[in-house]
Amino acid sequence: MTPYRPHDPFDIDAVASALAGLDVRRDAAELARAGSDYHWYSPVLAQALQGRRPHLMVRPRTEAELERVAAACVRHRVPLTVRGGGTGNYGQCVPLFGGVSLDITWLDAVVALQPGRARVQAGILIHRLNEAAAATGQQLAMWPSTERIATLGGFIAGGHSGIGSLRHGILADAGNVTRLVVLTLEDPPRRVVLEGAEIQCAHHAYGSNGILLEVDVALVPRVEWQHTIALFPRYDTLLHFGLAAGAASVRGELDLFQMSAVERRITPYYQGLRGRLEDEDAMFAQVHPASLAGYAALVQAHGGRAVVAGTEAELLAQGLPSCTECAYNHTTLEALKSDRGVTYLQVAYPAPFSPGLVAAQMARFGDEVFMHHEFSRAGGELVAFALPLVQYFDEPQLRALMASFEADGCAIYDPHTWVLEDGGMKQVDEAQLAFKRQADPLGLMNPGKLRAWDERVLGIPGGGL
Ligand SMILES: Cc1cc2nc3c(=O)[nH]c(=O)nc-3n(C[C@H](O)[C@H](O)[C@H](O)COP(=O)(O)OP(=O)(O)OC[C@H]3O[C@@H](n4cnc5c(N)ncnc54)[C@H](O)[C@@H]3O)c2cc1C
């Protein structure tokens, strides 16, 4: 069989017949849900991907049922898009050319919990894994701010880093994900085990080169993190503090799990904080109880004030949000709840990170851009990157803003494209492409998302709908 090409016809009824006895849905409401994710944060994606949905949604109960789905899609040459929690921001779960949406969330068993390591089925909710790990005195090393609603497989296939990355690095850093079992899209499907550096083949590949079945991830001893808010009179001062605290955490002098800098024009969007923070810029941080005094002293030394500290449960009891949900793309979510006129960008800064450059950008962009920076560790180094809110007018405005950041030496991780390479990588990941040739030789998985496949294998322009 030749590889699937966008808009090739297929017989969805034949697949439905092959899946008799499985939980198959074809009603309009279920298909609309199965074709959606959080790409609507981007007005560009919302328009481009409007109305794209699968022809059929299936939710396998067992790995044997999953294998039947994979084999049926191959036999009938039907596109397949895997779906976890459906929280991706780039339309990763949106089937561009219809076909089957595979909901993996019933494959969510905890296979084994050992000191330092969990082996689970990929459809497990991250929060549920954290609860299971807590029963053994452990926790995950990191999670996305969507911890309560996202799956571990979806985080690995679609995510990058998150809460805990300040302490443990990004997903791609060695030791965070140590083993993947991938089911190929062949008839019959094969199981391929990826370990060590091979994991990068399927990490952040948007589910385009095999179905993640089983995942091994790092666990660390559980900490009852103190969720803290510190206020600063100026945003560049806040960033200088972030650099100092982050450096102390890399040196092992402070034990910090998360630090998210959010400027004063954004914090009023947070439910629970409106009217409670004065006109200052905020650092949301999760701090080890043993580091709390040292952290507060550093805040004070930088001219800030520590105003809130407590466990997550204590903050929630006071009607305050947890620091997890003030971070990463929760900022955009909180803003969009009351202001549909905003969107966002993702910006990496040249090293060394310069608060002065951010101050110059704030002066240049004025009311168009509100700043938010995450402090993280990548490859052992402290990094700070921005997820600024943008008051949106139109796509040319977004492109102009991106160009202006790039002129400062920044790199844009474009959240307004559904094409994997056009987001962050800007180049072909040869290992991912080579693995796709093995794991999805017919190009059925999430077609239209991988520019390299479209251009190199199909000989068509990538990214075209
Ligand atoms: C409010 C908000 C905050 C966010 N914060 C963060 C953050 O802190 N860090 C971060 O990295 N991201 C973040 N994201 C993006 C996203 O939520 C995370 O990446 C999340 O972990 C995705 O998990 P999911 O289960 O929802 O995946 P889905 O959206 O269901 O899937 C994501 C991609 O993975 C593929 N996929 C899912 N499961 C499998 C599988 N088993 N096998 C193969 N492919 C699979 C899908 O096909 C899709 O391409 C955020 C998004 C929102 C809306």
Q: Is 165 in the pocket of ligand 1 (CB under 6 A)?
A: no
Q: How far apart, in whole angstroms, are the C-alpha atoms of residue 4 and residue 74?
A: 10
Domains and CATH numbers, the chain: 12-105+430-458 (3.30.43.10), 110-222 (3.30.465.10), 226-412 (3.40.462.40)
Q: Does residue 32 have a pLDDT over 90?
A: yes
List the beta bridge partners of residue 62: none
pLDDT grade, residue 378 (50/70/90)? very high
pLDDT grade, residue 426 (50/70/90)? confident
428 Cα–ligand 1 center, Å: 21
For 174-231, give the secondary structure using H, E and C: CCCEEEEEEECCCCCCCEEEEEHHHHHHCCCCCCCCCEEEEEEEEEEECCCCEEEEEE
Q: Does residue 415 have a pLDDT over 80?
A: yes
pLDDT grade, residue 44 (50/70/90)? very high
pLDDT at 465: 82
Where does 288-334 show beta strands of DSSP type E? 305-310
Q: Is 82 in the pocket of ligand 1 (CB under 6 A)?
A: yes
- Give the residue-averaged pLDDT of 229-234: 96
pLDDT grade, residue 276 (50/70/90)? confident
Joined tokens for residue 344? 């966002």
Segment 57-79, tens digit of pLDDT: 999 999 999 999 999 999 999 99
List the beta bridge partners of residue 57: 25, 101
pLDDT at 182: 98
Query: Which ligand 1 atom sits nearest the alpha carbon of residue 445?
Result: 47
Q: How far apart, in whole angstroms, are the C-alpha atoms of residue 79 and residue 100?
A: 6
Q: How far apart, in whole angstroms, are the C-alpha atoms of residue 458 and residue 364?
A: 43
Segment 190-222, tens digit of pLDDT: 999 999 999 999 999 999 999 999 999 999 999
Q: Is 144 in the pocket of ligand 1 (CB under 6 A)?
A: yes
What DSSP line would sit under 350-377, residue for residue?
A: PSSP-HHHHHHHHHHHGGGEE-EEEEEE
- Report the percentage of the chain scoring pLDDT > 70: 100
Q: Is 390 in the pocket of ligand 1 (CB under 6 A)?
A: no
pLDDT at 425: 76
Q: Is 157 in the pocket of ligand 1 (CB under 6 A)?
A: yes
**Pairing mode of beta strands 211-221, 117-121:** antiparallel
Segment 159-199, tens digit of pLDDT: 999 999 999 999 999 999 999 999 999 999 999 999 999 99
Query: Which ligand 1 atom sits nearest the alpha carbon of residue 157?
Result: 34
Q: Is 331 in the pocket of ligand 1 (CB under 6 A)?
A: no
53 Cα–ligand 1 center, Å: 18
Q: Which of 263, 225, 209 has the alpha carbon at shortest distance from 140?
A: 225
Query: Which ligand 1 atom sits nearest the alpha carbon of residue 333?
Result: 1
DSSP for residue 4: P
Among the listed ranges 116-130, 381-395, 414-428, which one has the minimum average pLDDT value? 414-428
Q: How far apart, in whole angstroms, are the C-alpha atoms of residue 392 and residue 340?
A: 9
- Give the residue-averaged pLDDT of 17-36: 97
280 Cα–ligand 1 center, Å: 32
Q: Does residue 278 have a pLDDT over 80?
A: no
Segment 394-413, tens digit of pLDDT: 999 999 999 999 999 999 99
Among the listed ranges 91-100, 335-344, 419-428, 429-438, which one has the minimum average pLDDT value? 419-428
Q: Is 96 in the pocket of ligand 1 (CB under 6 A)?
A: no
Q: Does residue 230 have a pLDDT over 80?
A: yes
Q: Is 185 in the pocket of ligand 1 (CB under 6 A)?
A: no
Q: How does the average pLDDT of the chain come out, rounded?
A: 96
pLDDT at 219: 98
Q: Is 415 in the pocket of ligand 1 (CB under 6 A)?
A: no
